[in-house]
Structure 1
Amino acid sequence: MEVEVKFRLPNAAAHQRLSDALAPFHLRTHMQENLFFDGSAGELSNHFAVARIRFYDGDSRCVLSLKLRARLVDGISRVEEIEEDIDPALGRACVAEPWRLGCLSASSKIMGRVRDEFGIGGEGEEKRGSSFICLGGFRNVRGVYGWKEGLTLELDETRYDFGASYELECETGEPEKAKEMLEGFLLEKGVEYSYSKASKFAVFKAGKLLP
């Protein structure tokens, strides 16, 4: 179970203000490309599941993930998440020809689970009725910061076809404590914020920036 605190920033100015305040804690910045997949009959979305391929810094790294049963309440996100690194060239091939994801069901725990639970993919005698489709996606610039008390903060600038959004995330086993600490920091630095109400994927699916 991945547990994160998520704050939405209203605009680029707030993002820049927070980026400046966090500069002493900066560890690295990633350029991310996120592509999402479903079955041809919507098998994943019908069960509130999301399959994603994420490329880091061009093709330096590629991660396949499956997210299930996501909940986002008062700025705290809880979601079951499974991740696997795959070869970036294979990831690009799956984006170009999504049916290739189904061929990974024998070697990938994620795709094996998708085949068994949702009936998508497989090959040979394991082949099911539905295949994968690529839904598209978005790009994200993520600044990573080593903050107080061992917390790692991720500051995102997400670029959709229809606009940009800004968000601060912190994965933690003590979300209420981290949330209180972060709110105090944001208030101290004069950074406007609100609790995130929707995931980046939900915004992408809506096709518009959500309030």
Structure 2
Amino acid sequence: MEVEVKLRLPSSAAHERLSAILAPYHRRTHFQENLFFDGPNAELASSLAALRLRFYDLESRCVLSLKSKPQISDGISRIEEQEEPIDPSVARQCAADPWRLLLLAESSGIIRRVKEEFNLGDKGLICLGGFRNVRGVYEWNRLKLELDETHYSFGTCYEIECENSEPEKAKILIEGLLQSSGIEYRYSEVSKFAIFRAGKLPE
């Protein structure tokens, strides 16, 4: 179970201001490319599941993940997540020809689960497309903060996330930082994938 605090920032100005405040705590920046896959009849999406390839920093590494049963309330997201590393060159081949993903069933527990749980053995997979994300990683006040600038074909979103086993306490600390810095924010109400599928930015 992945448990995260998710707070949405309203503008690039708010994102830049928070980036400047957190600059002394910066550890690294990742350039991520996220691609999503489903069956031809939305077999995964209709079961509130998402199959994703995430490329980091061009081709330095790639992670295959399956997320399911998302819940988000009051800025805290809970979702079941299974992840596996995958060779970036193999992942690129799968992105170009999604049917290749199902050939990984012998070595991938995620793909075995997708074939069996969603009955996709004979139906294949299609690529839904995706989005890019620039993620700044910070270590602040014993929290790992991730500041996201997410680029969709229809616009850009800004969000701060923090995966933590005590999300309520983490949220209080992060909200205190934002409020004391005069940075507006809202509780995120939907995931990045849900925004992508909706094809429009949250209001």
Which residue identity is paired with 1:74? D
Q: CA deviation at 1:40?
A: 1.1
SS in 2 for 1:136: strand
What's the counterpart of residue 125 of structure 1?
none
What's the counterpart of residue 95 of structure 1?
95
Could you tell me how far apart the structure 1 residues matched to 2:106 and 2:47 are? Answer: 23
What's the counterpart of residue 139 of structure 2?
146
What's the counterpart of residue 10 of structure 1?
10
1:164 aligns with 2:159: no
Which ranges in structure 1 are unaligned for 5 or more consecutive residues?
121-127
Could you tell me how far apart the structure 1 residues matched to 2:77 and 2:123 are? Answer: 30
- Consecutive aligned runs of 4 or more in structure 1 exceeding 3 Å deviation: none
Could you tell me how far apart the structure 2 residues matched to 1:183 and 1:77 are? Answer: 16
1:135-157 CA-to-partner distances (Å, cap 9, x unmatched) read 000000000001112x1000000
Which ranges in structure 2 are unaligned for 5 or more consecutive residues?
none
SS in 2 for 1:197: coil
What's the counterpart of residue 134 of structure 1?
127
Q: CA RMSD in A?
A: 0.6
Q: CA deviation at 1:129?
A: 2.6
1:125-173 CA-to-partner distances (Å, cap 9, x unmatched) read xxx2311000000000000001112x10000000000000000000000
Could you tell me how far apart the structure 1 residues matched to 2:170 and 2:123 are? Answer: 42
Could you tell me how far apart the structure 2 residues matched to 1:192 and 1:19 are? Answer: 14
Could you tell me how far apart the structure 2 residues matched to 1:194 and 1:4 are? Answer: 15
Q: Among residues 188, 192, 196, which one is paired with 1:200 in the alignment? A: 192
Could you tell me how far apart the structure 2 residues matched to 1:137 and 1:175 are? Answer: 28
Residues 41, 130 of structure 1: 8 Å contact kept: no
Could you tell me how far apart the structure 2 residues matched to 1:129 and 1:36 are? Answer: 19
Q: Give the alignment's TM-score, normalised by structure 1.
A: 0.95
SS in 2 for 1:93: helix
Listed as ranges, the matches of 1:1-211 within 5 Å are 1-120=1-120, 128-149=121-142, 151-211=143-203
Residues 62, 91 of structure 1: 8 Å contact kept: yes
Q: Aligned residues, how many?
A: 203
Which residue identity is paired with 1:190? G
Could you tell me how far apart the structure 2 residues matched to 1:40 and 1:28 are? Answer: 38
Which residue identity is paired with 1:154? E
Q: CA deviation at 1:116?
A: 1.3
Could you tell me how far apart the structure 2 residues matched to 1:160 and 1:45 are? Answer: 19
Q: CA deviation at 1:42?
A: 0.9
SS in 2 for 1:64: strand
Could you tell me how far apart the structure 2 residues matched to 1:33 and 1:178 are? Answer: 27
Percent identity, please.
Answer: 62
